[in-house]
Amino acid sequence: MMLEQQGTGIGSWPRRRARKTPGRIAIVHGDDTQTYRELDATVTRFARALRARGIGRGDRVAYLGPNHPSFLHALFATCAVGAVFVPLNTRLAAPELAYMLSDSGARLLLHDPHCAETAAEAGPGIAVATDHLVDGDGDDRADEAMADDDPCMIMYTSGTTGRPKGAVLSHANITWNSLNVLVDTDLASDEITLVTAPLFHTAALNMTCLPTLLKGGRVVIEPGFDAERMLDLIEGQGVTCLFGVPTMFAAVAESPRWATADLSSVRILMCGGSPVPRALIDVYLRRGLSFIQGYGMTEASPGTLLLDREMSAVKAGSAGVPHFFTDVRLVRSDLTGEAAPGEPGEILVHGPHVMRGYYGLPDATAEALLEGGWFRSGDVGVRDEDGYVFIVDRVKDMIISGGENVYPAEVENALYDHPDVVECAVIGMPDARWGEVGKAVVVLRAGAATDPQDLLDHLAGRLAKYKVPKAVEFRTALPRTASGKIRKSALR
């Protein structure tokens, strides 16, 4: 008898889990459910379809679509054939998607049928709807044997130069991040995890969905966030684990049903994107719920710091301490010395979950990854006497709007494409709903009749909606330093 040998990469997870718990429910989507046995069978069909299209080891396969089981089927199948998965943000405009497809060298763009028009525009000739995939020959699949350091996925993160960069995450990166989650959040095999945040974001995929499937739990996949729907699912599905950004949890707490909803099943409440306001912590504490807060980045797969639920009130505003298999240093601006407690320092991250580098960008990789594999986050933090880290600033002026990263340089580049714009700067301004939104400060050419709405219309279609500033202010000049750089601190 020939013994079957499975691959060891992410693509082998459904088959390995099907060996252990074949009848346990893996995925819930609307009224549909899929057991681990059925998940494995579907991944096998997807893998055969990819091979039939000539997809193999090292090829890049992109995916565009809202949260749906097909996202996971495509991910696992892509990894099973040794290819590299490239999840795309559905909120991006077609030109932005086209850049990522070109930059990654994607050979195939799998997409949800509802994204057909955008997919065809962004990836002509390579776009295929998931419901049009046709199986190849054979009754089984043979997973590629993947080494730990082999690339698993390329996740794009906005670049400070106005171009997004593809963080190359290996199979080991994703696995070790999942282990960190299992160790630090006590994720259980009977977990029922609600996924409403986009799966193309590293937090929803790598901090909740994949760790739950690794452990043998159940993921309830929703196409998007709705506060009332979330309460329905918590009560109806017995949801035990949730992830969201503060604005999502604030919206749930504002529901008329908040005081009476049955939340007794919830035991893990994970929140990221920005610190949870103390007032919101107290609202949830009154319902007997404590947040697990975190800080991370795409380049770290993403978990870096975690604030346990027991400390969420005591250390309110903190991002916590490093994950179990993670090391974090706070260094002074010259990168030579450790910042003392209470002294601001740039956050450096080290661990088996830190990326291999940026795809096709050796210079950017060398700048971001220091000797010994320490990753420069570009964020500034302060460590207190107990070792808890507080995020205090962003070196690269990034704006976080509703949990989405917005890099001003990218928006500024699009503004400069307008013929009437001479100078511009984009800064963040406080917003009660989104935490921060962008504001464009613009100098127009002499005699121009352009008004603020003209500039916003100019950006529509060029950028995702969340990147478009919510306000425009005209000035005759922008404040600059002696070296000629725009002083954004003065604008703020």
What range defines the domain where residue 200 resides?
10-383
Hunting for tokens 């990836």 — which residue is that?
Answer: 123
pLDDT higher than 90, residue 380: no
Lowest mean pLDDT among 181-185, 455-459, 484-488: 484-488
pLDDT higher than 90, residue 221: yes
Higher-scoring residue by pLDDT: 9, 160: 9
Average pLDDT, the chain: 92
Looking at residue 160, its pLDDT comes to 46
Hunting for tokens 């096998």 — which residue is that?
Answer: 44
Hunting for tokens 């960069």 — which residue is that?
Answer: 165
47 and 139 fall within a common domain? yes
388 in any annotated domain: no
Lowest mean pLDDT among 147-156, 254-263, 294-303, 404-413: 404-413
Q: What's the pTM? A: 0.85
CATH of the domain at 316: 3.40.50.12780
State the distance between the two ends of the chain, measured CA to CA, in whole angstroms.
71
Question: What ranges in 154-221 are assigned the alpha helix state H?
Answer: 171-185, 202, 210-215
pLDDT higher than 60, residue 29: yes
74 and 128 fall within a common domain? yes
353 in any annotated domain: yes
**Neighbouring-strand partners of residue 157:** 165
379 and 403 fall within a common domain? no
251 and 138 fall within a common domain? yes
466: left (phi over 0), alpha (psi -120 to 50) or beta: alpha
What's the rounded mean pLDDT across residues 410-438?
89
pLDDT higher than 80, residue 136: no
Give residue 130's identity as a one-letter amino acid code.
T
Task: Kindly give, in sequence order, each residue whose CB lies less than 8 Å from that of residue 199, ignoring residues fewer than 6 positions away.
Answer: 67, 71, 72, 87, 205, 209, 221
403 and 376 fall within a common domain? no
Q: Which of 123, 143, 150 is CA-nearest to residue 13?
A: 143
Task: Kindly give, in sequence order, each residue whose CB lies less than 8 Å from that of residue 220, ignoring residues fewer than 6 positions away.
Answer: 28, 29, 192, 193, 194, 195, 233, 237, 239
pLDDT higher than 50, residue 317: yes
pLDDT higher than 60, residue 65: yes
CATH of the domain at 457: 3.30.300.30
What total number of domains does the chain contain?
2
462 and 361 fall within a common domain? no
316 in any annotated domain: yes
Write the pLDDT tens digit of every residue in 324-362.
999 999 999 778 799 999 998 899 999 999 999 999 999
Looking at residue 482, its pLDDT comes to 46
Looking at residue 455, its pLDDT comes to 96
32 in any annotated domain: yes
Q: How confident is the model at residue 1 (pLDDT cuts 50, 70, 90)?
A: very low
Looking at residue 481, its pLDDT comes to 56
Q: Which of 165, 300, 229, 188 is CA-nearest to residue 30?
A: 229
35 near 26, Cβ under 8 Å?
yes
Taking residue 461's Cβ as centre, other Cβ atoms within 10 Å add up to: 12
